[in-house]
A and B are shown apart, each in its own frame.
Chain A
Amino acid sequence: MSPRLARLLTRLYPRLWQERYGDEFEALLLDGRGGPGTLANVICSALCEHLTPTQGGDMNRDPNSFSAILKHPSAFLPLAMSVAALAVIGVAATYSIFHYGHGLVREPDEGTAAHLWQLLMAGQLPVLAFFAIKWLPRAPRPTLCVLVLQAGGVLAAMAPVYFLHL
């Protein structure tokens, strides 16, 4: 197989895979015959590698990276709860507009939506604390980024309550 084609085929693979196996794979392709069967085989395998990337070996992503940390339940749950709290306000406002002809107003009886919002906001505090205690010592920088994101979520959920004086 020509060096150019071998390089091109190797580039079909994900970047991390290329970093780990690229050199030796290219050398293997150069040793081979490179017929249509080989081309099809490499293209299919590269596609599989994109769909189900190989983990492990030297290709492991840094477990303390921002994206890896964000995948932990204690990182994404508070965000999900903030989004849910925001959605509760949205649903309550929409319901109020359609049934009473006006948006949300402050009432002495807070109602189900308000209680749900309070539960969601208060419920994420222990999760946030657990996340900060667990991850800040291990990976301060990405953990701070996730905490900023979570704080943004909390502020976004609190904004309508503050601005609409609910």
Chain B
Amino acid sequence: MRLLTSIFVLLLLTANLYGNDAEEKLFSVEEETYHANELSEILSQIKENPININTSTKTELQKLPWLSENDIILIIQSRKNQVLSSWEDLDKLGINAITVNELHDYIVFRKRPELHLKQQTRVEFSEAKSKLRSSLKYYQKTLTEYGNFKAGVLTQKDEGESDPIDFYSYYLQYRSNEILQNCILGKYRLALGQGILFAPKLGMSKSAEATSVPVKKYSSLKPYTSSYEIWELEGCSFELTTRNWSIIPFLSRTKLNANLDSLEQITSFNESGLNLDEAKKNNVQETLFGSAVEYNNGNNQLGCSYSSLAFDHEFSNDKRNQKYQAVNLYCNLFNNSYPLFSEIALADEKVAGLAGVKFGDTRFRQMLLVRNYAKDFPSWHGNPFSAQSNFDNETGLYYGVTILPRKDTKINCYFDLWSFPETRYFEKMPTVGSDQFLQLETRISENTFRFTIQNKQKEKYITLDEAEIRDFERLLLRLDWWQKLGVITMKSRAEWISEYLPEDKVHGKGVLFYEQAKLRSEKLQIIAQITVYRSVLEPFKVKHYMYENNVNGIMQNSVFSGDGVASYLLLRYDLFNNVHLQAKISDSWQKSNKMRLFFQLISSW
């Protein structure tokens, strides 16, 4: 198999290639999760059904994180006078060349065909888990649409799980332009305001799109189509709309996988979705109900919500209540040159708030965002901007800047300062941290260069039992280079990481290089990549975070540490107009049990 991979890589060097990994910029440079997040899911959907730039709404265009508010206004205004028919038209509007390049997979200049049925089936084989009883991982998603109705069923079984439908999601959705605008029966997810109370998990906070991605712009109510086996709501929710007002009542009763102690109290939830122990599966029930009221005039959104949440088990942490109520108030004022967004929430008698503003002109955009989340604030269904996944006990200030000094150059940088004002899990004192990020992307003829620097400083304890707090510094330097040779694109990356404990004078370093080739012909797409890395494992493990294309072609994170050579090969072939076969093989050349195989069949009718 490794030989096969090598041959493909060599073949690709002489093949036609295409692509520029625009989505990689949207993801955090460090993200450990393997699961697809809401953003990558949205991008995946758009990629399969690109947005028609001539008929899309402002909300649809806002889903494209590379477009600034000014870009969207330019597009909408220009459509009144002309039909946009080519990339050159966007160029003529004055949209930055790097931005235009990033949009290539997501925009079309024609009417979108209507989707009636989509079937997606994926099988995964992991060599490391081949000895498990049921070693294959299955995933299938069926979405269908008829008139105003949409329905979907999603199932997933991880490696080692005996139940063939260990996780499932299902929904029936009705959408219309009448009073009942959106109604979902089954599994769904909520997103309100900036996500303090309700937001899809795994949404991005910090990224190279420094003045765009930190702002949450999700639709309020959506079917749950993620494969992440937790945090979904199950029951019924609908959106009643009259003119600009909407009311969204929701009711949910969900079974969760929790770890319980001897008193049958919840110690933690199993967020991995891996259920090898049937006794720990669906052993806790969560009941949630409430309602949100929103005013939305297309550009501005004001809203508030009330919700009541109860678990059928107590928590071992006495700061967490089994039952609590939550209210929030939020606004997104995008109808001006200085977009404002904010949310304040009260849950279980604890307060959390976030506010931000964008300002600047087309060539120089800035964003300031301040947040304050009380300790033990219930962060269960929320995911606002933060420096950590459990966002409670955090105060911070974010400053993001986007500079477009020339037509084919884009600079993004952000500076984030935060503190955890009270003690946290195994941290005996309050700690502070900061993050500095700079990315310069420029195109010179057929070459694109992207240079990234990220520096992170934080105070931390190294082990659970020690009493000493230390400064920890992490510096990342990365250079990406795309070279277009006619229709061929090669991508090279060189990355250097340094981690440092100044008090102990302990250094850890790592380097990573990769070469990637992309091909896209009329029916065939191939991506092949070979990665070489070397990093220390002692005194601490230096990790390289690298986004690689998953079987869909969407970026997904991989983590490398130690020494090794890794490769993957991805293939997509359009069997017919409506049937696509996708396959991916990844392996590590120096480590055993690392081979993974994916096969996916997608059909759309």
Co-assembled chains A and B: no
- A residues neighboring B (CB under 8 Å): none
- B residues neighboring A (CB under 8 Å): none
